[in-house]
Structure formats: C-alpha cells, structure tokens
Amino acid sequence: MSRSVSDPDVSAEVDRALDELAGRQIAVVTGAGVSTDSGIPDYRGEGAPKRTPMTAQTFLADEEARRRYWIGSHLGWRAFTAATPNRGHEALASLERAGVVSGIATQNVDGLHLRAGSSRVVELHGTMRRVFCTVCFQVFDRRDIGERIERENPWISVPDNVPLGPDGDVAPDADLDFEIPNCTVCGGMLKPDVVFFGEFIPAEKFREAEQLVRASDALLVAGSSLVVNSGIRLVERARRRRLPVVVVNRGATKADARATVKINGGTSEVLARFADALPARI
C-alpha cells in the first residue's frame, strides 16, 4: 500500500532521496504509474484491467485479430488523447527547465511528458501519435488515420464506461463490420508506431536511453515496476557506475533491493516535492 508524503516514514524517505539527488544531473525512467493520475491505468497495479496484449505476430498474421485491434485501438485512442499531463509530468518538465533533469526514458506511449513541456524524451516503446506502413514505411499522423476510420466507419463512437487500457485501447464487445485502414501510398498494412508484446525495443532507442544515463550523475525511476527488461537494464547501467538510484513507485519493483532509496508512494506527489526542493540545492 502506498502512503502520502505527509506520512513520517515517507517524508523521511523523500528527504533521504533529496540528499542523494541534490546537486546531481538526473536521468529519469518512467512507467505507467506516472500516468495513472491522468486517468490512464497501469498494467499491474491495484485495479488494473485484465488484458491479453496483442502480439506483433498475431497482428501481422490474422486479419480478424487485426480488425478487433483497430476497433479497440481507435475507441481507446479517442479517450487516451483526452488525458492531460498531471503534477508528476509537470514536475519533471520543471526540473528539466531548471537544469536538474537531463532527460526522460519512458516506457509510456501516451506522449504526456512532451505535452507537459519536457523536451528530451526517449519513447522506448514508441508513441500512439504515429502510424506507419509495414511495406513502404510511410509514416502517418494518428489523427489523420482516426479521421479516415470515422469517415469509413461512420457508426463508430466511444462507448460510455468502457475501461481504457494502458496502451490506449479498449476491448470491443463483439466483432463488428469494420474497414481496416491501409496505406494510401502503396496499399500496405498499417501498424501503430508502438512496440507490441513480443517485439524488441529498437536498438537505437535503447542506446539513446543509455546515453542519458551515461551523461547523468543519478537515476530516478518513477512509476515502473521494472518488470520490462529495458528499465531494469538501465538501472544496472547506473549501478555499474555507482550512481545513486532512487525508485518511486506504488508497490514492489524489481529494483527495490538495488535502490539507494525506495519510496513507496504516488509519483505525482513525490515528484512535485522534488521539483520544489531540488532546484534550490543545485
């Protein structure tokens, strides 16, 4: 169970973290827990919806699965894009402007760090903002694809009270007559520019994240259980350089035993506290 920073134990953990981070350039790794206060659920936390993620193999090979994916993805994307940055996103953007945060490597595809004003963001798992052709690799703005979907499927609308998934999708109740969007350049298959379950993170993206850690003096992990290998590998890069590692997350993470400080609390509240205190301690 997470606690408020007003809790004496959490307040002491935050103070310890501030001591470790003060005067350092901080690389940040974020996960789904950073966006829960924006209304986007995480994968494994309390109340997270049960879900069977679409694999890249199924998406590419099965037209019916692809149709169901596009229906759910479009319905969820409309709700997904209505989400706005929360205090945690804004705190990290403020810390970057103050010269404290060197950059963010995020496992999220929601784009909320960029919308909050962070400028150096490595989107490890891609972004919901783009769609690309798997044949000619033409890139499309997701908004344009959304308009095409609604023009070609005028019946489609966002149903009320449908749980939103962490990747900006929902589960449609039934198979519906749906025109799958294709590439307007070559007619090829379109795919959202996100890393599907079973796909590897692009090597160049991971190198960018490694460079962030290499150029920094400390690592802050916020809102990630670090079950995905990319996150824990970045923690190991920091540990090898003997950098302080601060983890802020509701519940256990794979790095708890390796962290210099672990704060079992909500990211919005804790990051706002960091944004208030760290610039004065440069």
Domain ranges within the chain, ordered by starting residue: 1-40+85-125+202-282, 49-82+128-194
Q: Is pLDDT at 164 greater than 60 in this prediction?
A: no
Distance CA 15, CA 13 (A): 5
Give the per-residue pLDDT at 71: 87
Sheet containing 190-194: give its strands across: 139-141, 126-133, 190-194
Q: Is pLDDT at 45 greater than 70 in this prediction?
A: no
Distance CA 18, CA 279 (A): 11
Q: Is pLDDT at 51 greater than 70 in this prediction?
A: no
Give the per-residue pLDDT at 170: 47
Give the per-residue pLDDT at 176: 58
Mean pLDDT, range 203-222, rounded to an integer: 97
Give the per-residue pLDDT at 73: 85
More confident residue, 233 or 155: 233
Query: Which of 14-23, 58-67, 161-170, 194-203 shows the highest mean pLDDT?
Result: 14-23
Q: Is pLDDT at 248 greater than 90 in this prediction?
A: yes
Give the per-residue pLDDT at 2: 52
CATH (one of 3.30.70, 3.30.1600, 2.60.120, 3.30.2010) for 49-82+128-194: 3.30.1600
Q: Is pLDDT at 28 greater than 80 in this prediction?
A: yes
Q: Comparing 67-76, 142-151, 181-190, 271-280, which segment has the lowest mean pLDDT?
A: 67-76
Interstrand relation of 126-133 and 139-141 (parallel, antiparallel or unpaired) = antiparallel
Give the per-residue pLDDT at 50: 54
Mean pLDDT, range 163-172, rounded to an integer: 49
Interstrand relation of 190-194 and 101-106 (parallel, antiparallel or unpaired) = unpaired
Q: Which of 74, 89, 113, 125 is catalytic?
A: 125
Q: Fold for domain 1-40+85-125+202-282? A: Rossmann fold (3.40.50)
Mean pLDDT, range 257-264, rounded to an integer: 96
The fraction of the chain above a pLDDT of 70, given in percent, is: 87
Q: Is 74 a catalytic residue?
A: no
Place of tokens 């993206």: 205
Q: Is pLDDT at 194 greater than 70 in this prediction?
A: yes
